[in-house]
């Protein structure tokens, strides 16, 4: 992809709801402290489940805060997360959508892997378990995959392109890429984008148990004794703008979204391909105008499964050659869990923090490194170091790869 004649895209606001707390700063501070939010599963049916651990949003999250009751009744938990994170991001950006017709020129693109899973689970229990003759009348507006994007659009009167992206664990990165492209090509001046997920329902947990990829203790990416992934939940939402638009209004720029890469493995529905992942990273570098040795940090997909961690290590070596040995690589899923369609958005908070504060978050829970995973994974303790540019990797079931390349704020 060429950047010739395209507008540059920057981030001017970010918000988050995560297992590490309410707010993007709570997430970033937890990550730089190496603090894992993985703990015993809190669920009314926990005794019936084999999975015993998860990374859950704390009970201090109040879904009634800042959302009117007439709106709240229409929301699944996944949209509650998205609206709260969007409010934080928009407040930080300082955008006023009523000025100069900006509301018409602002897009909303939100990724989610499963959408309104809590509502789906509740209504299935009602219909099949309790033999209810009818579903709740607001089931559809809560369940539909585009609910979060539409609710943000309605809340702020945003009339630009608005839609959802669903590509499993790459949903957030794919959504952010689509939002950036709308700005690059002049179809929008600003965008509200990111990912949201609330997938810790009985049905979803049972389905993940059946795949036998869940850890029974904690998430240990790249460690030889890793036992699988740990499911999480939450949302990360960002305000993107064209560089010209942000500079014209004197906005504080957090980072530049300089390049993107998207590929499909076209090989296997669950087994990742090093070649496909590597190609997405190489595309992102080229799109950003970066050489391999310009990059200091990669936020890895790093799920903690046997197949993913080895394959991603190989992919990084394919894309970066000898420079791979000089990269700092970490998986923050070791702390916030794998939030499926929201993971890339939570991880983008980590990348923006690394660029802004010159601190690379660690890979928590690391003990003995797998010899097949032979990169610098920043074990257990954050590292102070300059970060000029960074990649954020998301690789999904279905063989779908989406990579973001970021630079420090211009």
| Token pair of 264 as six digits | 């499909």
Q: Where is the domain boundary, 248, 271, 299?
A: 248
- Does the residue 95 lie in any domain? yes
Confidence of residue 5 (pLDDT cuts 50, 70, 90): low
Same-domain check for residues 155 and 191: yes
Residues 301, 236 share a domain: no
| Mean pLDDT computed over 373-395 | 98
Characterise 94 by phi-psi region: left (phi > 0), alpha (psi -120 to 50), beta (else). Answer: left
C-alpha R_g of the chain: 20
- Tell me whether strands 162-165 and 383-384 are parallel, antiparallel or unpaired: unpaired
Looking at 84, 174, 245, 301, which residue is catalytic? 301
d(CA 311, CA 388): 26
Assess if residue 254 is contained within a domain. no
Question: 101-111, pLDDT tens digit by residue?
Answer: 999 999 999 99
| Counts for the chain of helices (H) and strands (E), in that order | 13, 15
Burial degree of 189 (CB within 10 A; 0-12, 13-18, 19+): buried
DSSP type of residue 231: B
Look at strands 9-18 and 255-264 and give their pairing.
antiparallel
Task: Give the pLDDT confidence of 224-281 residue by residue, as tens digits.
Answer: 999 999 999 999 999 999 999 999 999 999 999 999 999 999 999 999 999 999 999 9
In what helix (H) or strand (E) does residue 108 lie, and over which residues does it extend?
Answer: strand 106-111
Active site annotation includes 338: yes
Assigned token pair, 156: 């702020």
Distance CA 332, CA 302 (A): 8
Do 233 and 339 form a contact (C-beta atoms < 8 A)? Answer: yes
> Does residue 99 have a pLDDT over 60?
yes
pLDDT of residue 386: 98
Our answer to whether residue 219 is catalytic in this structure is no
Residues 36 and 168 in one domain: yes
Are residues 242 and 304 located together in one domain of the fold?
Answer: no
- Answer yes or no: are the C-beta atoms of 209 and 285 closer than 8 Å: no
Distance CA 363, CA 378 (A): 6
Distance CA 33, CA 14 (A): 20
Q: Which domain holds residue 48?
A: 9-248
Are the C-beta atoms of 338 and 232 separated by less than 8 Å? yes
Domain edge (last residue) among 248, 273, 301: 248
Query: Mean pLDDT over all residues of the chain?
Result: 97
CA distance 155 to 17: 18
Flag whether 105 is in a domain.
Answer: yes
15 and 122 share one domain:
yes
Burial of 47 (0-12, 13-18, 19+ CB in 10 A): exposed
- Domain with 198 in it: what CATH number? 3.40.47.10
Q: What local confidence, expressed as pLDDT, does residue 109 receive?
A: 99
Q: Please, how many CA atoms are within 13 Å of residue 132, restricted to the half-sphere of its CB?
A: 12
Catalytic residue among 84, 174, 336, 338: 338
| 163 and 238 co-located in one domain | yes
CB 341 within 8 A of CB 197: yes
Q: Which neighbouring-strand residues pair with 223?
A: 369
State mean pLDDT over 202-209.
Answer: 97
Same domain, 145 and 188: yes
129 burial type by CB count under 10 A (0-12 exposed, 13-18 middle, 19+ buried): exposed
Token representation of residue 339: 């939030």
Alpha-carbon gap, residue 296 to 224, rounded angstroms: 25
The pLDDT tens digits of the residues spanning 32-62 come to 999 999 999 999 999 999 999 999 999 999 9
189 and 326 fall within a common domain: no
* Contacting residues for 317 by C-beta, under 8 A, at least 6 apart: 324, 375
Is 66 a residue whose pLDDT tops 90? no
Residue 253 resides in a domain: no
Of 24, 82, 98, residue with least CA distance to 341: 82
| Domains of the chain: total | 2
DSSP string covering 80-101, please? Answer: HHHHHHHHHHHHHHT--TTSTT
- 169, 199, 219, 373: which is the annotated catalytic residue? 169
* Residue 2, in any domain of the structure: no
Contacts of 149 (CB under 8 A, 6+ apart): 82, 108, 109, 110, 162, 163, 164
CA distances from 85 to 116, 229, 279, 336 (A): 17, 25, 32, 16
Gap between the Cα atoms of 385 and 211, Å rounded: 39
Q: What is the DSSP string of 20-41?
A: TEESHHHHHHHHHTT---EEE-
Same domain, 190 and 267: no
pTM score over 0.85: yes
SS3 226: coil
Q: What is the mean pLDDT of residues 14-18?
A: 98
Same-domain status, 205 and 78: yes
Model confidence at 4, pLDDT cuts 50, 70, 90, reads very low
- Look at residue 379 and tell me whether its pLDDT is greater than 70: yes
pLDDT in tens, 313-342: 999 999 999 999 999 999 999 999 999 999
Question: Is 71 inside a domain boundary?
Answer: yes
**278 and 379 together in one domain:** yes
Query: Rounded to the nearest 5°, which phi and psi values hold at 60?
Result: -70, -15
pLDDT at 3 over 60: no
pLDDT of residue 1: 42
């Amino acid at each position: 992809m060429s950047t010739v004649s395209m507008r540059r895209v920057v981030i001017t606001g970010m918000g988050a709801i995560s297992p590490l707390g309410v707010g993007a700063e709570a997430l970033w501070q937890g990550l730089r402290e190496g603090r894992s939010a993985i703990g015993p599963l809190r669920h009314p049916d926990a005794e019936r489940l084999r999975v015993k651990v998860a990374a859950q949003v704390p009970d201090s999250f109040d879904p009634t805060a800042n959302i009117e009751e007439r709106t709240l009744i229409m929301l699944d938990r996944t949209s509650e997360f998205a609206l709260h994170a969007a409010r934080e991001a928009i407040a930080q950006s300082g955008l006023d959508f009523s000025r100069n017709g900006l509301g018409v020129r602002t897009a909303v693109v939100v990724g989610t892997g499963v959408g309104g899973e809590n509502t789906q689970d509740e209504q299935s229990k009602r219909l099949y378990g309790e033999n209810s003759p009818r579903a709740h009348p607001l089931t559809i507006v809560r369940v539909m995959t585009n609910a979060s994007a539409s609710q943000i659009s309605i809340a702020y009167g945003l009339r630009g392109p608005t839609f959802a992206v669903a590509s499993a664990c790459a949903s957030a990165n794919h959504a952010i890429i689509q939002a950036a492209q709308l700005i690059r090509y002049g179809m929008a001046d600003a965008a509200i984008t990111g990912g949201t997920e609330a997938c810790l329902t009985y049905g979803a947990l049972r389905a993940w148990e059946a795949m036998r990829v869940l850890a029974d203790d904690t998430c240990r990416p790249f460690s030889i004794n890793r036992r699988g992934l740990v499911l999480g939940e939450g949302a990360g939402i960002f305000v993107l703008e064209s560089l010209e638009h942000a500079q014209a209004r004197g906005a504080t720029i957090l980072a530049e979204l300089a390049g993107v890469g998207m590929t499909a493995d076209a090989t296997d529905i669950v087994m990742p391909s090093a070649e496909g992942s590597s190609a997405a990273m190489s595309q992102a570098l080229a799109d950003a105008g970066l050489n391999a040795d310009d990059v200091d940090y990669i936020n890895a997909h790093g799920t903690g499964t046997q197949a993913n961690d080895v394959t991603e290590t190989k992919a990084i070596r394919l894309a970066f050659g000898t420079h791979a040995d000089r990269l700092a690589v970490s998986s923050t899923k070791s702390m916030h869990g794998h939030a499926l369609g929201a993971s890339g958005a939570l991880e983008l908070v980590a990348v923006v923090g690394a660029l802004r504060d010159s601190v690379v978050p660690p890979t928590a829970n690391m003990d003995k490194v797998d010899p097949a995973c032979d990169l610098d994974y920043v074990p257990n303790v954050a590292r102070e170091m300059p970060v000029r540019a960074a990649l954020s990797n998301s690789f999904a079931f279905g063989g779908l790869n989406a990579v973001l390349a970021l630079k420090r704020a211009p």
